Amino acid sequence: MKFRVNKKQIIDYIIRYGVLVIFIIMVLFFALQSQSFVKPSNWMNILKHSVPISLISLGLTFSMLVGGLDMSIGAIYSFSAVICSGLIVAGMPIILAIISTIIVGLFFGLFNGFAAVILKIPAFIATLSTMFIIIGLQSLYTHGERIDINSDTYFSFIGRGYLGRFLAFSVIILLLSICFAYFFTKNIKTGIYIYATGFNLNAAIIAGISTNLIKIIAFIICGGFCALAGIIQASNLSGASASSAGISFILNSVVAVFIGASMFRKGNLSIIGTIIGSLFVAVLTNGLAFLEISHLSIQGIKGLILIIVLILNSIGKKKFKYHIGQMPV
């Protein structure tokens, strides 16, 4: 019997499972290097730490589905941590503080959507300027001082509480958010329209979808997820630091989203992929910390992984000679 090898299929498999193989090799490597890496408590710890990254990456997935890389995610995340802590310190009831923080996040999302869609500014420039505006607001609000909240209140339960002995509460919030995002994009009309707008804008317009509104909604959802991540982080640290995560936090989420994109059907974005990507980033961060590699080289390693994943993504795609990696219009 002749054994035929389909070259295209092999390339497809390499792209789809290459990152997964790297992930498994990475876990094995860290496990061999450090005994405490494989302990179950460390895994729960990794999950707990991955919550903000995963939430922000979920938000970024929405904005990238409609074709706009939201650069303001890191800034919205830190600013909502600051706002939430500030409101609680000022004596607002915790539920109200959480709700108003999420409203602030949604508002920034709306602002991004307005600038990108209505004013027709290229999305990354619009969100970049939002990022700098938010960094400015944060600096004005904190005056360079850390905001501390009393860690005894039940606010700290959100980020640090455990249900039973093992299951962290923040992980449950993450699971709920994943379920929301998944069912929103699969079962609810608006969510399906977001996919439709992202994959083929002209077809979506012809099909009668008001794409502008859908794009704005995607940006708003992105802002909301970032605000939620900020609230959890504020509870985690019982307070918020004055310095903004700004541009350095974008890297984590972008890496997560693109790793996720590489796993499913030729580089399409998906909720599940993003979550796997965020786990990848969280494990990488944790493992490198165990190897005592300094914080700043971790960023470089992530940058390198980002570029490698992008190259992997681009291998199988059909290309024309005039495809040169420009920004979308």
E strand or H helix at 163, and its extent? strand 162-163
Q: In Å, what is the CA distance from 320 to each residue of 192, 245, 323? A: 29, 38, 5
Residues 227, 244: Cα–Cα separation, whole Å? 14
Retrieve residue 168's tokens. Answer: 């962290």
Give residues 123-162 in contact with another protein (rule: CB under 8 A): 124-126, 128-133, 135-140, 143
Contact pick of 15, 19, 66, 115 for another protein (by CB under 8 A): 115
Q: Which is nearer to another protein, 1 or 324 (CB)?
A: 324
In the chain, count of helices (H) and strands (E)? 13, 4
DSSP string, 125-142: HHHHHHHHHHHHHHHHHH
Retrieve residue 39's tokens. Answer: 């302990």
Give residues 36-75 in contact with another protein (rule: CB under 8 A): 69
First-to-last CA distance in the chain?
52
Chain CA centroid to CA 94, Å: 25
Q: Rule CB under 8 A: is residue 301 a binding residue for another protein?
A: yes
Contact criterion met (CB below 8 Å) for 223 and 80: no
Q: Rule CB under 8 A: is residue 202 a binding residue for another protein?
A: no
Q: Rule CB under 8 A: is residue 14 a binding residue for another protein?
A: no
Q: Rule CB under 8 A: is residue 318 a binding residue for another protein?
A: no
CB 128 → another protein: shortest distance, Å? 7
CB 137 → another protein: shortest distance, Å? 7
Stretch that binds another protein, among 34-42, 91-99, 113-121, 186-194 (CB under 8 A): 113-121
Binding mask 70-109 for another protein (x = CB under 8 A): ----------------------------------------
Number of shown-chain residues binding another protein (CB under 8 A): 56
Q: Rule CB under 8 A: is residue 249 a binding residue for another protein?
A: no
Retrieve residue 37's tokens. Answer: 């890496």
Q: Which is nearer to another protein, 108 or 155 (CB)?
A: 108
Q: Which amino acid is at 320?
A: F
List the one residue out of 251, 255, 297, 291 whose CA is nearest residue 273: 255
Q: Rule CB under 8 A: is residue 291 a binding residue for another protein?
A: no
Contact pick of 5, 95, 119, 206 for another protein (by CB under 8 A): 119
Q: Rule CB under 8 A: is residue 256 a binding residue for another protein?
A: no
List residues bridging with 163 in a β-sheet: 167
Binding site for another protein (CB under 8 A): 69, 115, 119-122, 124-126, 128-133, 135-140, 143, 246-248, 250-251, 254, 258, 294, 296-304, 306-307, 310-311, 313-314, 317, 319-327, 329
